Amino acid sequence: MRKGQTRTLIFLSALVLFSLAIYSNTLQNGFVLDDESHIVENPWIRDFGHLKEIFSSNLLKVPGDSNYFRPMMHLIYTFCYSLFGLSAWGYHLVNILWHAGASTLVFFVAREVVSASKAGGESAIPAGMAALIFAAHPVHTEAVSWIAGVMDLSCAFFFLLSLLFYIKSGRAGRPGLALSVFFYFLAMLGKEPAIVLPAVLFAWDRAFAEDKLSVRLKRYLPYIAGAGVYLFMRFYALKGLAPVHHEIKSGMFLFLVDTSVLFGKYIKMVLFPVGLNFFHLYRPVSSAMEPGAMLWLAFVFLFLIIAVYSAARLKSVFVGLSLFIFPLLPALYTPALIQRYENPFAERFLYLPSAGFTVLMALGLAKLLNRYPGRARAAAAVFSIFLILFSIGTYQRNPVWKSNLSLWADVVSKSPESPIAHLSLGEALFFEGRLAEAIGHMETAVSRDPDPDSRNNLGTAYAKAGMMEKAIEQFEAALAQRPEDPLFRANLERARRLKGK
């Protein structure tokens, strides 16, 4: 083994250990949010005999409208269940290993881009620095600390692995290309944004490929075929490519402004990961004259100009921008998001795009170290400060995901005007037996959004506390809003019987 290979192996081992260290406290966390339905209550993961259901159904396991076809999640959980049963620490450990693997792939992809850009100097050093930042970035805590984030982790891992094999196939021949297509297919089974990989491959070819466009187009055909197979499976499972679609009521122009605002928020979060929050509130733009609306639109327009310019002049930068922009695009199309404007901004959506950010960082570091070699120590010092701050931020953020109670308490402290946050915290407190606190938060939720489900939950809390008059009042109001709901009617009748006793 050559000296350079030995150093790379030592660094990668350290990178894996570093990833394990900063996320080690997630091993104390439990199942939160969707983990209950995806794992604890999921019969498909009990053995490997449910492959037909996994590949022919939506993510939620029940017939109905859903835009999510992600069989990879069920396969991963089946494997985890066979090893750990319902011990949450095992699932968290698997998430950390996925993250360590993705961080390793960021190193290899960044090294390839830096080497191909001919920025000069050693490519492994800036690539290693980029991989460490990716591993420690606090914005990744939602994807890594939440077990359900394995969908983002597996998608990013196979996406980057496919990209790396495609890059290598230019030197290794057909076998590398076949593996790239295979991993591309696995990435799509993990999560929908992976389908944009061919756009990133095109950006790489435009920057570094020397063969003709016609030759390159032939290389894309297997990826198009793989995407076609995936879309067919998706259509069969969901009964449509994206059956849940919300109408754009604000008009196309305001929709573009909204999209620009969201895009700007994502850029801001990847650059300055402060104010992390599971439930970021977002109010859609109602007028182009709102303060900041046109500013965000101008910012995105300028960003696109930079992207077009880099495609022509700064081609290596264009590769990094493509790796950031294209995987983020599906998250910007809010009509296809289940949560719509309730919570369209989610930190986990940045997991794969942030790899593009770190590639851009590696390119900048390579040029800086090549042009000003005497400032290497200063650059290392600044980098170390950011790495330490990021690591501390990540480690401190992880315990927020310990339970539903700790998570929603954090959300309420940062989004106190959210009725969903108060309702969810109230439910978590209810299951902890803290009825007075639970009722307080549920009352706040109902006062801000008198949704029938919220009223039913508040009525249940009232009944548990022996406050039957108030319970009946809430059950009656819920039933008036949704007369056909049998649960509301049953709760109302039970409360009336208890009051009669």
How do residues 338-360 score in pLDDT, each as one tens digit? Answer: 555 566 788 999 999 999 999 99
Q: What is the pLDDT of residue 289?
A: 67
What pLDDT band is residue 312 in, cutting at 50, 70 and 90? low
Are 358 and 133 in contact, with CB atoms under 8 Å apart? yes
Q: What is the pLDDT of residue 102?
A: 97
CATH 1.25.40.10, applies to 405-500: yes
Task: Outline where 23-87 has alpha helix (H).
Answer: 35, 51-55, 71-84
Domain ranges of the chain: 18-51+64-401, 405-500
Are 187 and 197 in contact, with CB atoms under 8 Å apart? yes
Query: Which has more confidence, 210 or 10?
Result: 10
Torsion of CA 100, 104, 105, 107, to 10 degrees: 140
Q: Looking at residues 66-74, what average pLDDT do you find? A: 86
Q: What is the pLDDT of residue 408?
A: 95
How do residues 206-227 score in pLDDT, each as one tens digit? Answer: 888 777 777 778 889 999 999 9
For residue 68, give the nearest of 341, 346, 337, 344 by alpha carbon.
Answer: 337
CA distances from 131 to 127, 134, 135, 363, 413 (A): 6, 5, 6, 12, 32
Mean pLDDT of the chain: 86
Q: Looking at residues 219-241, what average pLDDT do you find? A: 88
d(CA 37, CA 7): 44
Q: What is the pLDDT of residue 69?
A: 87
Residue type, 226: G
Task: For residue 288, give the DSSP letter.
Answer: T
∠ CA 186-190-194, nearest 5°, is 75
Neighbours of 492 (CB within 10 A): 20
Structure tokens at 280: 């970021």
Q: Looking at residues 391-405, what average pLDDT do you find? A: 95
Q: What is the pLDDT of residue 248?
A: 57
Residue-wise burial string across 290-313, b where 16 or more C-beta atoms lie within 10 A, e elsewhere: eeebeebbebbeebeeebeebbee
Q: Looking at residues 157-175, what average pLDDT do you find? A: 82
d(CA 178, CA 155): 18
How do residues 98-135 score in pLDDT, each as one tens digit? Answer: 999 999 999 999 999 998 887 555 778 899 999 999 99
pLDDT at 256 over 90: no
pLDDT at 241 over 80: no
Q: What is the pLDDT of residue 117?
A: 82
**pTM of model > 0.85:** yes
Q: What is the pLDDT of residue 341?
A: 52
For residue 408, give the nearest of 418, 394, 422, 397 by alpha carbon.
Answer: 422
Q: Looking at residues 406-424, what average pLDDT do you find? A: 92
d(CA 428, CA 318): 46
Neighbours of 369 (CB within 10 A): 21
pLDDT at 17 over 70: yes
Are 360 and 270 in contact, with CB atoms under 8 Å apart? no
> What's phi and psi for 484, nearest 5 deg?
-85, 0
Structure tokens at 115: 């080497």
How do residues 427-459 score in pLDDT, each as one tens digit? Answer: 999 999 899 999 999 999 999 888 888 999 998
How do residues 268-308 score in pLDDT, each as one tens digit? Answer: 899 999 999 998 887 766 666 666 667 777 777 787 787 77
Q: What is the pLDDT of residue 339?
A: 54
Which distant-in-sequence residues (6+ apart) come within 8 Å of 339 by Cβ? none
